Every structure is written in structure tokens, then in C-alpha cells.
């Protein structure tokens, strides 16, 4: 009887340890928010430390600024091929003309000297 109780106790302790370790591990999956709207300004080139874009989401009253990192996957037309490793052609705004787009946005936490905040992870341009 004591042997069986000890076996059950060991299994219960191992189960509790497994649950605690599983809960303590960081969750590394990311699901970006998809936002449709207009790109109103682009600052810097993708890959430069201060690269960002200003975006006015549909229905929003103002614009928000998002960081751009290299490589940011982009699509120049709906249903077109995805590209990365270069500045999206649709982000080369000519004469200040806004571009309709949908962007994927995640929020990252800053670590050490790396900044945190909202970041664009993909761009779909439509005009």
C-alpha cells in the first residue's frame, strides 16, 4: 500500500512540475493584426534604423507610425507574387500621393537596446 501511494505521489509531483514548466515557457507564436487603409508617408529605407511608415486605417481619425524592418514581405498587387529583401515599390510615394494598402502589424516588446512597439510585418499595396 505504501509503495503504491509513493508511486502515485511521484507521478503527481512530476505532473505538477510539467504543468509549471510548460506555463513558464514563453509563447513565441505571433498572429499579426491586418489593417486596411492608406499609407500617407514613408520615412527612410527598409533596413535603416529609423525606417517607418505613417498609416491611416479605415475609419480612424488620425495616422499611426509603424516601424519597418528588413526584410518586410510585400505584394504590389492583390493576388500578385510576394517579394522581400527590397524596398516595396508601392512605398516609394511619388509627389506625396497616398497609397491604399493593407498591412500586418504586431506589437513587440523592447529588449535591451532594441526598441519595442508596433511593427509592420507585411505590406499589400493596391494602387
pLDDT tens for the chain, 127 residues long, are 778 888 888 888 888 888 888 777 776 666 788 888 988 888 887 777 788 888 999 988 889 988 888 788 888 777 788 888 777 777 776 656 788 888 888 888 888 887 788 888 888 887 6
Residue 56: predicted pLDDT: 92
Reference 33, options 55, 50, 48; nearest CA is 55
Neighbouring CB atoms inside 10 A of 79's CB total: 6
* pTM of the full structure: 0.67
Residue 60: predicted pLDDT: 87
DSSP string computed for 81-115 = --B-SS--GGGS-STT--EEEEEEEEEE--BTTB-
Residue 120: predicted pLDDT: 86
Pairing of strands 52-57, 64-68: antiparallel
DSSP state of 42: E
Amino acid at each position: 500500500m505504501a509503495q503504491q501511494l509513493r508511486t502515485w505521489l511521484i507521478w503527481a509531483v512530476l505532473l505538477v512540475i510539467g504543468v509549471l514548466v510548460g506555463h513558464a515557457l514563453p509563447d513565441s507564436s505571433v498572429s499579426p493584426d491586418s489593417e486596411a487603409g492608406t499609407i500617407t508617408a514613408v520615412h527612410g529605407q527598409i533596413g535603416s534604423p529609423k525606417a517607418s511608415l505613417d498609416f491611416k486605417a479605415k475609419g480612424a481619425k488620425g495616422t499611426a507610425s509603424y516601424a519597418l524592418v528588413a526584410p518586410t514581405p510585400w505584394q504590389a498587387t492583390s493576388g500578385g507574387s510576394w517579394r522581400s529583401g527590397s524596398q516595396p515599390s508601392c512605398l516609394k510615394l511619388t509627389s506625396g500621393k497616398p497609397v491604399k494598402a493593407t498591412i500586418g502589424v504586431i506589437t513587440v516588446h523592447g529588449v535591451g537596446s532594441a526598441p519595442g512597439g508596433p511593427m509592420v510585418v507585411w505590406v499589400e499595396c493596391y494602387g
